[in-house]
Chains A and B, each alone.
Chain A
């Protein structure tokens, strides 16, 4: 899979630069020298890594001006925009990969975003928190209140998450809309799991194409 050099790079990358399992997977999926658009790129940690280590043509969209400032200050080509609108101007199949990491549940029209991602990108990489994790199910069942867990820490009235999506929900939408799952990864913390992901994974990463 990965060369010794790659592994060494990745060892730094995961805990120090990114510290997120889904970023590690994205780093593995994205091929050297490819073009990547990161939606909701924050301060551009992933993009900076992809540019430096994967020689990628890296672009990003971010809605927070302070985060865009940080990203541009580190030399990245990031522009301030809403994801729901930020893709409209790009021609079809502009990027090799369009990445949406931990943001799908915050978009107003996730289905439109998904379709825009596979229009603008040859591949879409989507990482999202699994709202069907056992702790959320348990919490709802036992307390009768909107789940508030380690992975879903927000109060219902003060959450950025406007769409609650589980792993089977997402798979169903992809199937229904005629898209193809190229790869899928399921994470418990930063560890990959394969056993009963819809119950045990706290997040999922999908590689989707048209």
Chain B
């Protein structure tokens, strides 16, 4: 499946902060066909460092999508049955407007002057895309980690526009620990002398800081077990006759790779959006938030995920139970830590496939299905 990124300018975007972005562009990819009733659309949300390239092989660079094992013909998100699409988040750096985009007021990149954006802002922009595609109601909104936060925000912001929500390894608000790791990442970037207060687009950029931030991120995505299995205390010979632990070499490699594809200002903007995300803020309880939502929930967490532990998913499930909402929940056994949502395709596939099929069936009047 060869895929190509598309993008659409949705015009002015009003932000929660009161500011506006005069011209907001959203980049997306889509797989499969929208049916006549436009009732088979599934919106996939990417995690913090992801992008719109969720599946297939990129026409541009041949890269495979980040959820290739879950999206495609016959897979969990079956593109033979459903129209699946994924967009890059607001504040990102892969085609959607973000700090690296040109500020029309100055003709230069926004940098740190990019307005503060929230997860609700990201969804507001995305709603514009959904409408642009002519979809009135999404069959499902699904994603892991920050993708799950966005899925939850959909249920809260536009409950009448989604028939089901699948938050995976996610939370309705960050814990102190999650904020702490993000803050260390941000500080690593800002401590880099090449950060230049975010105006580094003409210079080398804060590659060292961004790389360290990513290394920390990768530690939190794994588990003690998965690291022991993957690296142990094995060493790798370097060209200069020194040696590195495998885990050191892996983290450096991942850190370096990240610098090539991610903007440090986006790192700051998106992690800030995640940290300030609190779905229950301004409500008496989390249950209140979901009260208007009439669709189905499938919540998934993983046993070894210590970054987004199961108790966070269970809080969501309990809030939904308190409002007698339609919710399925499973805690899948895995040793992969937070990465499990990307890796454990086998078990997720059966669950997601069954959930989507029954949701689609309930949504489609008998005889009208196509």
Which residues of A are at the interface with B, using a C-beta cutoff of 8 A? 59, 65, 68-69, 72-81, 89-91, 94
Contacts and interface: CB of A to CB of B under 8 A. Distances in A.
B322 A90 contact: yes
A74 B354 contact: yes
A91 B322 contact: yes
A49 to B, nearest CB: 15
A73 B361 CA distance: 14
Main secondary structure of the interface of A (DSSP, over half): mixed
B358 interface: yes
A80 B310 CA distance: 11
Interface in B269-319: 296, 298-299, 317-319
Contacts of B359: 75
Contact of A89 (B322, B332, B361): B322
Contacts of A80: 329-331
Q: Max chain A CB contacts within 10 Å: which of B326, B328, B331, B357?
A: B328
Contacts of A91: 322, 324
B127 interface: no
B347 interface: yes
Interface of B: 296, 298-299, 317-319, 321-322, 324, 326-333, 347, 350-351, 353-355, 357-359, 361
Nearest to A88: B318
Contacts of B350: 69, 73
A54 B298 CA distance: 24
12 contacts: A59-B326, A65-B330, A69-B347, A69-B350, A69-B351, A73-B351, A75-B357, A76-B358, A77-B327, A79-B327, A89-B318, A89-B321
A154 to B, nearest CB: 25
A58 to B, nearest CB: 10
Nearest to A86: B321
Contacts of B353: 73
Nearest to B353: A73
Contact of A76 (B317, B319, B328, B361): B328
A129 B131 CA distance: 57
A101 B141 CA distance: 35
Contacts of B299: 79
Q: Max chain A CB contacts within 10 Å: which of B299, B322, B330, B331?
A: B330
A65 B351 contact: no
Given A72-B298, A77-B328, 4 more contacts: A72-B354, A74-B354, A80-B330, A90-B321
B182 to A, nearest CB: 29
Nearest to A87: B321
B26 to A, nearest CB: 32
A107 B357 CA distance: 34
Nearest to A74: B354
A14 B346 CA distance: 32
Contact of A77 (B326, B332, B333): B326
A69 B296 CA distance: 16
B285 to A, nearest CB: 11
Contacts of B357: 75
A65 to B, nearest CB: 6
